[in-house]
């Protein structure tokens, strides 16, 4: 399953209704490292389908969720497990590093 784009309005529902942990990518169009990491996240979302869900939220278009969770830099990844933040990572990572971080976090 490919990563899904979510908005401020959809965010809480996506997190609350997921039966698997949700990896949230807080990103922005102007963020170079975010663009570099995007294909890695897409690949991870396919490779780990059924184990985790990957959601992407554009912080410029959806600032409320980023503010709520104290996102100050990008890219920021958060793992939500049972509706709560289980882990946070700031900065770009390779596909393998993302996979390893998710496995350690869930």
Residue 59: give its domain's CATH number. 3.40.30.10
The token pair that represents 47 in the structure block: 């490779």
What is the distance between the alpha carbons of residues 54 and 105, in angstroms, rounded to a whole number? 14
- For residues 2 and 93, the model is more confident at 93
* Catalytic-labelled residue, pool 22, 34, 66, 102: 34
Whether the predicted model's global pTM rises above the 0.85 cut? yes
| Known catalytic membership, residue 60 | no
Report the number of distinct structural domains present in the chain: 1
Contact present, 69 and 34 (Cβ < 8 Å)? no
Residues in the chain: 106
49 lies in which domain range? 4-105
| Known catalytic membership, residue 54 | no
**pLDDT for 36-66, tens place per residue?**
999 999 999 999 999 999 999 999 999 999 9
Q: Sheet containing 53-58: which strands, arranged edge to edge?
A: 4-5, 53-58, 22-27, 76-81, 84-90
Contact present, 71 and 94 (Cβ < 8 Å)? no
* Catalytic-labelled residue, pool 31, 37, 71, 77: 31
């Amino acid at each position: 399953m490919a990563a899904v784009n979510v908005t401020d309005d959809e965010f809480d529902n996506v997190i609350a209704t997921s039966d698997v942990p949700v990896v949230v990518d807080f990103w922005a169009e102007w963020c170079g490292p975010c663009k570099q990491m995007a294909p890695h996240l897409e690949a991870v979302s396919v490779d780990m389908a059924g184990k985790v869900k990957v959601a992407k939220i554009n912080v410029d278009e959806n600032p409320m969720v980023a503010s709520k969770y104290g996102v100050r830099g990008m890219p920021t990844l958060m793992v939500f497990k049972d509706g709560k933040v289980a882990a946070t990572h700031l900065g770009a990572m390779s596909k393998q590093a993302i996979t390893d971080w998710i496995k350690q976090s869930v």
